[in-house]
Amino acid sequence: MLVVVPTYNEIESLERVLGNLHRHVPAVDVLVVDDASPDGTGKLADRLARGDDRIHVLHGTAKSGLGQAYLSGFAWARARHYDVVVEMDADGSHPAETLPAMLDRLVDPDRPVGLVIGSRWVAGGAVENWPARRRLLSRAGNEYARLMLPLRVHDATAGYRAYDAGLLDQITTRTVVSRGYCFQIDMALRAHDAGAGIAEVPIVFRERQTGVSKMSRGIVFEALLRVTQWGIVRLFTPRTAEAARAADGDAPTRSAA
């Protein structure tokens, strides 16, 4: 199993987050995908990797966004034949103590799924230290995605999730153009289109204690625009999966190489 941790200016939290992850899941490998952080996060990741063979580092040459960081991590994982790939933030907001439950749900033979989402908005989930405006924005965004798309999940924007590697092999990730938090909705939709089961496990999401949030108006606008495009195309076109990709100017969906 590989946990992909994208970073941009996370020097204050990275070592603590990786240490906590390995306390709860000692055997897991980690890939830090650093987006050319100017604060030295990449150098810190290299130092941690030299002292721990479970930690690996992939360096970007420029700031390319969350989506591209995860796509690079997925490709790295698939090339090395990991069976499970996990997304996890580097700011401490995703509770490592919940990962074992997420992994247990992913491999439950009685309820097969390809994707497990660590969800803030299901029974037992919660958010700590968020202002009311941020809660409203997240709730509204997820409800809009449920309204416009054939997704029945409650937290499609969540960035804490575990994929079966076989599902990633089916998803045409090379046509993903989403770069911000819309990437998470995009990937959940592709999982749905691939016929994969999607489960949600409640988590307690804790707002970062250090660093600066990457949320911006541009990220919100991208998600609103793309979800609207996907929803409208699916409403009027029977070939929904291919048409939704065409709404982004992508090529028709094919099996990933």
Question: How many CB atoms neighbour CB 23 within 10 A?
Answer: 10
255 in a domain, yes or no?
no
Predicted model pTM: 0.88
68 in a domain, yes or no?
yes
251 in a domain, yes or no?
no
- Output the pLDDT for position 257: 26
Helix, strand, coil percentages (3-state) for the chain, rounded to 5, are: 45, 15, 40
- Is residue 88 within 8 A of residue 5, CB to CB? The reply is yes
pLDDT in tens, the chain (257 residues): 999 999 999 999 999 999 999 999 999 999 999 999 999 999 999 999 999 999 999 999 888 888 999 999 999 999 999 999 999 999 999 999 999 999 999 999 999 999 999 999 999 999 999 999 999 999 999 999 999 999 999 999 999 999 999 999 998 677 787 877 799 999 999 999 999 999 999 999 998 766 565 556 777 888 889 999 999 988 887 554 554 444 444 443 333 32
254 in a domain, yes or no?
no
252 in a domain, yes or no?
no
Give the separation between CA 257 and CA 94, rounded to whole angstroms.
31
257 in a domain, yes or no?
no
Which of 147, 142, 149 is CA-nearest to residue 125? 142
DSSP tag of 253: P
Q: Which residue type, as a one-letter code, is found at position 121?
A: W
CA Rg, the chain, in Å? 17
161 in a domain, yes or no?
yes
Q: What is the CATH classification number for the domain harbouring 46?
A: 3.90.550.10
**Domain count within the chain:** 1
Element (H, E) at 189: helix 182-193
Q: In what order do the strands lie in the sheet with 115-119?
A: 55-59, 29-34, 2-7, 84-87, 161-164, 115-119, 198-202
Domain that holds residue 107: 2-246
**Token pair recorded at residue 180:** 């911000």
100 in a domain, yes or no?
yes
Residues facing 86 on adjacent strands: 3, 162
Q: How far apart, in Å, are the Cα atoms of 8 and each of 35, 44, 90, 207, 218?
A: 5, 12, 9, 16, 17
**Token pair recorded at residue 34:** 């650093």
